[in-house]
Every structure is written in structure tokens, then in C-alpha cells.
Amino acid sequence: MGLTAGSRLSHRGFVLRLAGTSDNHRMRRFVAFATFVVLCSSSPLSGCASAAAGSTLAVESSGVRREYVLHVPPSYDGRRPVPLVFAFHGGGGQAAGMERMSGMDAVADREGFIVAYPQGLDHHWNDGRTADASKADDVSFIKALVSDLEAHYAIDQRRIYATGISNGAFFSFRLACDLSNTFAAVAPVAGSLPAGFAGGCQNSPVSVLMINGTADPLVLYAGGHIGGRFVAGGDSVAVSQAAATWASIDRCDAMPRDSALQSDDPSDTTTTRVSSYERCAGGTSVQLYTIDGGGHTWPDGPQYLPQAIIGPVSRDFDASATIWQFFSAHPKA
């Protein structure tokens, strides 16, 4: 297949376009990114697909069989209600890949919560963006899955949480809006709010932990077109604006308190700043971890694709452990 300036490639809901330039560097990045989108849907790349450690199960939603991977910690005895965490893969990914990339199973075993990795139809989530290729009723799927898990396991209804990367991060934000009475907190990684977000999430305050890299080439820290020049993914607002918007929804103090993390890895080139919005409604809080130099990645996870495509992985902190620490401190009021 020959690709020239202005070429267009469509695969599994993505529309990829080659910028109108003959620059060889842009051509190489386009070919690499196109390869990523195709392979993420069909082969066992780290962060895209892998053999699952948990059990693959299914539930019916809107007349469709929907699958998910479930990990139950060895300490679960069915007598004491335990927290439930949903972890959503990115666009083009798979539930099993999210399980492997995030390392959330190890945190669940240590802390005693159940973690579910849902599978998006056609490897994608309907996260509310107008340019979103998916028309699946994913909110109803998650609502049905919560009910099914509550019927089979002792779930603490005050401690149901969601996290995800990229498309899964945007979808986590949507769940915080559409199922605000269900989710106590969400933790979007490498995602933001879509442009034009209406902010109609006033029913029940939801705590939010955002994790974003300033060198993310796909979901730009300053906002703008999602996917750079190569993916028709709509537009997102600036990351700092998304955090401030949610702080307003949760009725927090207008100005955040800023601090910095100390890195334990001398070889890590990234640094992390934390902006914390405090005194929010219902005991909620909003935090933004800004990784200076960080990419479209899961901190302390694998470098699942070359830095030229997704940017570097930060080793400043373990994203899964940090997310759980935030979740555990924010049950539903």
C-alpha cells in the first residue's frame, strides 16, 4: 500500500490522515502510528492485548453479549463487602492488555479489592466525543455490569471506582457524569474532557484524579486535536482547564495547592507536579498529576511503543498504586 501526502487510511473506527507534507520524519511517524492502530486490534502488543490473568466473563446489555476480564483477590471471602475498580483500555486495545499494562491485579491482591477490565465493542469506548466512532451504549453496559457483579459478589456500594487510559480515560469522565450516583471517584490517565463539554454532572459530586504528560503527542496537554495529525479523534480542552472545570463541578476552592513529587529513579528524565483542589462538596477532591516530559503512557508501566510515537514512560511514581491510594481515601459520601 503506497502512502503519499494527503493519503487517508481507515481502520476499526479510526481515520488516519497523512499531513500535506513530504517531510520524511512525518512520513515515518505516520507509518509507525498506522501500524500501531492495526496491530493493537489484532496482535499481543504490550498495552494492547495479552493473555489474561483473570477470568473472561460476559453479561448481556441492550441485547448484546459484552465481555470483561475479572480479577478477584485471594483474600476475598464473600462475607465482607469489598471495593470494585473498573479499568478501561484505550482505543484499539483490549481488556487483557489493560490488565497487563496497568499492573492493577497486584495492587488488588495487596489491598483486597475486585478489579474488572471491560472490553469495548470493536476495541473502543463511546466516550461522548462528537467525533467518536463508537455508537455503542457503553454506559448501559457498565450499569448492567455493576448490577451483575453486585448480585454475585459482596461489593461495597460506596467504593466503586473507574480508571482508564486515553479513550478509556475519556470514558471514565463520562461515567463520572452519567453514573455519578454510582461512582465515588475516577482516575483518567492520558485523557481530558472533550471540547464542548457541557458540565451537566451536578447530581452527585465525584472525586477526580487526573494524570497527564506534557509531552503526550496524542492527547495534547494544551488541548486541541486528539491524535495529532493522524487520527480523527475530535478535540479536547486543555488538561489544566479540565481539572479546573471538574473542581467547579465539585464546588472546590477556586485555586489549587501545588506541590512536587520526589523521584526515586535517577535515570528518569520526567518530573511530576501535583495540583490539589481542596474543600470540595461531599468530601470529594480533585487532583492533577502533571508529568513534565511524560507521554501517552501509564506511569511506571511498560514502554509499550517507541517514544517517537507515544512519548516516554515516567518512573516518578506507580500510577496504579497512586490511583488506589486516591480511591481508598474517597468513598461515596
Report residue 95 as a C-alpha cell.
481488556
pLDDT at 21 over 50: no
Q: What integer pLDDT is reported at residue 1 of this predicted model?
A: 31
DSSP track, 206-252: -EEEEEEETT-SSS-TT-EETTTTT----EE--HHHHHHHHHHHTT-
Looking at per-residue confidence, does 21 or 162 come out higher? 162
Q: What integer pLDDT is reported at residue 131 of this predicted model?
A: 55
pLDDT at 16 over 50: no
Lowest mean pLDDT among 21-30, 52-61, 69-78, 186-195: 21-30
Residue 16 near residue 6 (C-beta atoms within 8 A): no
Radius of gyration of the chain (CA): 19
Residue 84's closest CA among 73, 95, 100, 74?
73
pLDDT tens, 274-299? Answer: 999 999 999 999 999 999 999 999 99
Q: What integer pLDDT is reported at residue 266 of this predicted model?
A: 76
pLDDT tens, 107-129? Answer: 999 999 999 999 999 999 999 88
What number is the average pLDDT over the span 206-210? 97
pLDDT tens, 63-93? Answer: 999 999 999 999 999 999 999 999 999 999 9
Q: What integer pLDDT is reported at residue 154 of this predicted model?
A: 98
Q: Fill in the DSSP letter of residue 282.
A: G
Instruction: Name the pTM for this structure.
Output: 0.85
Quick one: what percent of the chain has pLDDT higher than 90? 73
Q: What integer pLDDT is reported at residue 175 of this predicted model?
A: 96
Ranges of each domain in the chain: 47-328
3 pLDDT band (50/70/90 cuts)?
A: very low
Beta-sheet pairing, 185-189 with 207-213? parallel
Report residue 208 as a C-alpha cell.
477526580
Residue 30 near residue 4 (C-beta atoms within 8 A): no
User: What are the Cα distances from residue 84, in Å, to 75, 113, 147, 316?
Assistant: 14, 6, 12, 26
pLDDT tens, 230-244? Answer: 666 789 999 999 999
Non-local (6+) Cβ contacts of 66 within 8 A are 58, 59, 60, 118, 119, 121, 141, 144, 145
Q: What's the chain's average pLDDT?
A: 84
Topology annotation, domain 47-328: Rossmann fold (3.40.50)
Angle at 83 between CA 79 and CA 87, to 5 degrees: 135
Q: What integer pLDDT is reported at residue 204 of this predicted model?
A: 84
What number is the average pLDDT over the span 122-141? 84
What is the Cα–Cα distance from 145 to 159, expressed in whole angstroms? 15
What is the Cα–Cα distance from 176 to 162, expressed in whole angstroms? 8
pLDDT at 22 over 90: no
